[in-house]
Structure 1
């Protein structure tokens, strides 16, 4: 059995940066660790070093993504207030992604901790399914459970019309707070 050689230091970080910039999907720490023959913890440290150099890398529930500032179409953003029971989270996310919307995050206003914000970054039903599966597998709570169902989302789409249609569908489903 031969063991692959570890990719070291700056060379590894340059590879990570290149992979993140060229992929159109999130890359997990485990996948990056496997590609470079190092531990996932080394990758976490490398990502922190790259972020310290102002590289726009974001950790999502699906893996790391490079927030491409150039060559991307201009996106429209909107922050909405949503309210529903935890069991309707999948339905809410499906409604949004079915209209071509990316759900970037979830935010709550906690009475003790103030604003709490977490990355969601889902754009397809498959990504929603993976997000919900991860919540269930880890027995994690939704942030909205800390505020009896009220929460905010930052939405992103390539047009105001998509955002309008998604919001209208959420309103019809009784989940949008105006």
Structure 2
């Protein structure tokens, strides 16, 4: 199989996947190194295709949106991170990403793609296993989340609960 064929099949795999696909899984599937997969993903992205690299693997966005997209400004220590994410997903929200404003590098964004409590559990487990720290550590807890919700009522409920938990910045 040549490079172009592998990239086409890789893209097909991502389009039809119903869960994130890890670099390790894809490298095994195509019998190449993980670094080759990383390079292939970069080339595909450079061609204009949106592929998210999440803590659980690569995903492509679903065609249909949940409805409304909002950006929430939050501030908390790492002890409240799980609670913040649970409030969003338990109320029917989807957490696309986390964004921080670095004083030197500017905006730093990481794709999260969390929709369920199970997704939050896996994310938290991976952070613990790799001894990772939240991006918001570099901004004293201040960060943004892009979220999707099905309707305004859900967004209002999420905002209210984050406010009650002392997580939402005054907007």
Q: Could you tell me the TM-score, scaled by structure 2's length? A: 0.92
Partner of 2:164: 172
Give 1:100 shift: 1.0
Whether 1:10 and 2:1 are equivalent positions in the alignment is no
Counting matched residue pairs gives 170
- Aligned mates of 1:114, 1:52 — CA distance in 2: 21
Task: Note the 1:95-106 alignment, pairs <5 A.
Answer: 95-106=87-98
Unaligned runs of 5+ in 2: none
Task: Note the 1:21-36 alignment, pairs <5 A.
Answer: 21-36=15-30
- Aligned mates of 2:66, 2:77 — CA distance in 1: 33
Partner of 1:75: 67
- Aligned mates of 2:66, 2:141 — CA distance in 1: 31
Q: 1:25-84: per-residue Cα shift (whole Å, max 9, x none)?
A: 21111111121122111111111111121111121111111124x4x2453110111111
CA RMSD of aligned residues (A): 1.5
- Aligned mates of 2:75, 2:23 — CA distance in 1: 33
**Using a 3 Å threshold, how does the CA distance of structure 1 residues 148 and 16 change in structure 2: closer, same or farther?**
same
Whether 1:129 and 2:148 are equivalent positions in the alignment is no
- Aligned mates of 1:15, 1:138 — CA distance in 2: 31
- Aligned mates of 2:150, 2:4 — CA distance in 1: 36
Q: Would the aligned equivalents of 2:100 and 2:143 in 1 still touch at CA under 8 Å?
A: yes
Partner of 1:138: 130
Q: Would the aligned equivalents of 2:65 and 2:148 in 1 still touch at CA under 8 Å?
A: no
Unaligned runs of 5+ in 1: 1-6
Larger Cα Rg: Structure 1 or Structure 2? 1
Partner of 2:39: 45
Q: Could you tell me the TM-score, scaled by structure 1's length? A: 0.88
- Aligned mates of 2:103, 2:46 — CA distance in 1: 31
Q: Would the aligned equivalents of 2:95 and 2:146 in 1 still touch at CA under 8 Å?
A: yes
Q: 1:91-147: per-residue Cα shift (whole Å, max 9, x none)?
A: 111111101111111112223332222212111111111111121221222111112
Q: Would the aligned equivalents of 2:73 and 2:168 in 1 still touch at CA under 8 Å?
A: yes
